Structure 1
Amino acid sequence: MNSPASQTRAPRLTPVKLGQLIGVDDGRFADGDDDVEAVESHGFSRESLSWPTRRRLDSSRVSGLRVEQWRAHGLAMAETVLERVELVSLHAADSGWRRVEVCDSRIGSAELSGSVWRSVHFSGCKLGYLNLRDAQVSDLQFTNCLIEELDLMRSKVTRVAFSNCRLGRLELTRSTLADVDLRGAQLSDVGDLAGLSGATVSLEQLLDLAPLMAARLGVKVE
């Protein structure tokens, strides 16, 4: 039996607590270059959304946003809830995510390389390609999510867990994992099996991965 000290640590999530919010008009949300704080945006819809300067989205709720392409390099998001968001692609490299909740949303491609995440929860979401290459991620939870590909190449990842999720492909080349709990994910493929060091899997998952491990090692099983 594992001792308490050896058990996989769960993500430390801090629930988002929003105060009084004021409605923000679409023009300011889309085209302004000032920070967006303590506001509520509902039903924003546009083909493309571009934030050319580094903007902060803080202590706010964004619901019903529908955008094909959102570019927000260096976005700083904190104490914010995103709900029923539909994005074909999100480009926010070098962004910061702290105490963020994303629920009931669909994102086709999220290009978030070099980002920093602290206390982030995805719930009831469908994600196509989630690019977290070269990222620093701690305290991340996925609940009831479908993720086609999660790319953690060269990332430092601590206290991440999955609950009732399906994960198509997990890329872990040169990643550093600590307390990454994969037991709640139906996992189909791992890009670099050596990258699983620091992760926790169930016996059933290990058996499911055995043919893949054998093939990568050139082992014939008869």
Structure 2
Amino acid sequence: MSPPPVRTNLDERMAILRGMMDRFFQMVHEGYTSTYREADRDVAFQESMELRSDAAAQAEHLAQELLLVLSLNQPLLSDLRIVAASLRSLDVLERLARHARDIANARRDWAERAKEGANFPIGISEGLDSMHNDVLELLELARACFVKQESVPVERILELHSSANKVFDETLEALLEESKSKVAGREGRMLLVTIARRLERSAYNLMRLFDLWNHAQTNQWIRFESMAHED
């Protein structure tokens, strides 16, 4: 019978990395929040550019640290799944930072149109706010999984993803029904579609991340995003 793998300092290293990932999750969560809610759209866009740059640097640094774990230790298959899922989470967090930048840019452009009398439809605005809140909660739940090693809260993530998808579909339908004068013409509608699409993509990417974390913990593949559509 072969000896067990050497785990010298592996648990300690992973604990340190979880702390680093916690700060990364927090940075993206705070940035995704502030760049959306900041009243000054120019300030929000500048913050989103800084978030995008910081997220890219942090993702690269953490990726190197995770790969170092593989080279210095002999992790079990369960450890390898966690490392693989963690590496994927870095890509998702960096992607959310890009989404935040795109949203901030679209909202800044919309603010310029508002100065010319463009009207932001209240129903669409409320829908986008709802999607944004859904994404933030999904992000916090993912943080609990990767940092606190919690199991995927399946029922809640399905509710949130279904909510985000429903509002996304309703937003696109509402934009088709709006007259050009109400939403600043085709260009204005495209800005609103961009915001809605980035929020929808953020939710989708987080759902795929839950797939990976569940696989890391259980060694079973479940497509939660598909389950949400089935409901």
User: Greater strand share, 1 or 2?
Assistant: 1
Query: Where on the TM-score scale, by shorter chain, does this alignment land: which range?
Result: under 0.3
Structure with more relative contact order (C-alpha pairs < 8 Å, separation 6 or more): 2
Between Structure 1 and Structure 2, whose CA radius of gyration is higher? 2
TM-score normalised by the chain length of structure 1? 0.21
TM-score normalised by the chain length of structure 2? 0.21
